[in-house]
Amino acid sequence: MSYNYSNDQLSKTPMKERYNVIGHDLSGEKETEAQKHIDRKKVIGTARIEGEFIKTPYDLQMIKMANDLVSSEIVNLGIETHCEVLPEQIHFLPNNYKYFKTGNRTRSGFHNAISGMICLKKESASDTAAEKVKVFKTLLHEIIHVYSFEKFYANNFEGGRINYSAIYRSGYKTNNINESDHVHFKGLNEAVTEMLTIQAIEANYEKINASLGLQKSDWNDSKFSYTLERKIISQIIEKLSLSKAVSQVHSQDEVAAKDSVGEIFEKELLARNEFWTKILKGYFTGDMMFLRELEEYFGKGSLRVLSALDGGTKDKPNVPKLHNKINERIYQFFTTDDQTERDHIAHEILNERERLKYLKSKER
Ligand SMILES: [Zn+2]
């Protein structure tokens, strides 16, 4: 397959001003070369896909709205952003587009971190409010992924050739470069993406509805994704916040701490906000500091448990039941206050992961 892209297309690719690139023996020159290479990949992501629908003015309106919502969320966090997702990066495709199928499940959209391309499922004839809501929330979710922190891996091989195509970080999702089938923090990454999608929609119903010709009731049946993953992240935030609030109140002098229930409640709300803000900032800046606080509270090894959420392997073996079971256990891990139980679950989960790897190696 060959791609035709012009200089004209190159010059209108805003994306990010500069990409984060890591790798062995990367000289300044090689790094610049890697940047250019990534730029070209991003242009490839804007090339038309066979069978994709031509975008209507309404589609363009949706894309603009989604960009506006994400950038104002980022600005609210005090972060500067140089990203804008171009309409050309977004491809509306019919149901039968082959990449919507993963195993025996179909997804309504996905994004490719290397090319910055977003593919969305769209019914050609359907123009109902329910369909509009569905497309918009998937679009927003995928656009948030594109705005998230990215780090690329450039490997400098002997003879001067560079392999640039690996993505090392996308938001919180981390690929283990040495073991190509290992992915960490996928569930955390998806949960944060979907939680921000919900936050941006809920804070802007009026704006969105006015712009897209929708009504509040059109959102009633909309189902947001990654329910269990979101529950786990909320649970973590709740536990950390309560613990922080309690220790803050207890460290005060006795007179001030007398009416401690009300005070704990107040401090807990503040702490929740702080933790959530920290998580969001890290998602866009790459800072993973808050994860340390999590490890401090839930004990050593808890990060490995969290990183296993949504499977530790990129190509899931065809056993979704096993994955659901693991995710349920991860929820219990972050719910219980009993360290012995946590240790037990961690042991079990990390063993399961080995089992998954084992099953996968048997499939080959
Ligand atoms: Zn996602």
Measured from the Cβ of residue 31, the count of other Cβ atoms closer than 10 Å reads 18
Q: Are 311 and 236 within one domain?
A: yes
Sheet holding 90-93, edge to edge: 90-93, 117-121, 109-112
Q: Are 92 and 175 within one domain?
A: yes
Å from CA of 104 to ligand 1 middle: 18
Å from CA of 286 to ligand 1 middle: 17
For residue 197, being part of any structural domain is answered with yes
Give the Cα separation of 255 and 249 in Å (integer): 11
pTM of the model: 0.88
Å from CA of 150 to ligand 1 middle: 14
* Phi, psi values for residue 105, rounded to 5°: -115, 150
Last residue of a domain, one of 219, 251, 272: 219
Give the structural domain span for 116: 11-219
For residue 311, being part of any structural domain is answered with yes
Last residue of a domain, one of 188, 219, 250: 219
Q: Are 58 and 97 within one domain?
A: yes
For residue 278, being part of any structural domain is answered with yes
pLDDT at position 321 over 80: no
Q: What percent of the chain has pLDDT over 70?
A: 81
Å from CA of 136 to ligand 1 middle: 14
Q: Are 231 and 161 within one domain?
A: no
pLDDT at position 81 over 60: yes
For residue 4, being part of any structural domain is answered with no
pLDDT at position 1 over 80: no
Last residue of a domain, one of 219, 254, 279: 219
For residue 94, being part of any structural domain is answered with yes
CB burial readout 140-167, b (16+ within 10 A) else e: bbbbbbbbbbbbbbbbbeeeeebebebb
Q: Are 25 and 149 within one domain?
A: yes
Give the Cα separation of 148 and 309 in Å (integer): 19
Residue 108 near residue 138, CB atoms below 8 Å? yes
For residue 6, being part of any structural domain is answered with no
What pLDDT score was predicted for residue 107? 87
Q: Are 51 and 175 within one domain?
A: yes
Q: Are 20 and 102 within one domain?
A: yes
Å from CA of 276 to ligand 1 middle: 18
pLDDT-derived band at 2 (thresholds 50, 70, 90) equals: very low
Q: Are 63 and 132 within one domain?
A: yes
Three-class SS state of 13 = coil
Q: Are 215 and 318 within one domain?
A: no
Give the Cα separation of 240 and 230 in Å (integer): 15
Å from CA of 292 to ligand 1 middle: 24
Q: Retrieve residue 115's tokens.
A: 């090319």
User: Can you give the length of the chain in residues?
Assistant: 364
Å from CA of 29 to ligand 1 middle: 34
Identify any residues that bridge with 90 across adjacent strands, giving them in sequence order.
118
For residue 2, being part of any structural domain is answered with no
pLDDT at position 361 over 90: no
Å from CA of 226 to ligand 1 middle: 9
Q: How many helices (H) and strands (E) does the chain have?
A: 12, 10
Give the Cα separation of 177 and 151 in Å (integer): 12
Q: Are 156 and 248 within one domain?
A: no
Q: Are 154 and 19 within one domain?
A: yes
Å from CA of 101 to ligand 1 middle: 15
Q: Retrieve residue 322's tokens.
A: 């096993």
Å from CA of 300 to ligand 1 middle: 28
The gap from C-alpha 231 to its chain's centroid, in whole angstroms, comes to 15
Q: Are 349 and 294 within one domain?
A: yes
Where is mean pLDDT largest: 167-171, 234-238, 324-328, 345-349?
A: 234-238
Nearest partner of 233 among 263, 269, 195, 265, judged by Cα? 195
For residue 5, being part of any structural domain is answered with no
The domain tally of the chain equals 2
Cβ-count burial of 116 within 10 angstroms (0-12 exposed, 13-18 middle, 19+ buried)?
Answer: buried
What pLDDT score was predicted for residue 306? 93
pLDDT at position 119 over 80: yes
The gap from C-alpha 315 to its chain's centroid, in whole angstroms, comes to 18
Å from CA of 356 to ligand 1 middle: 22
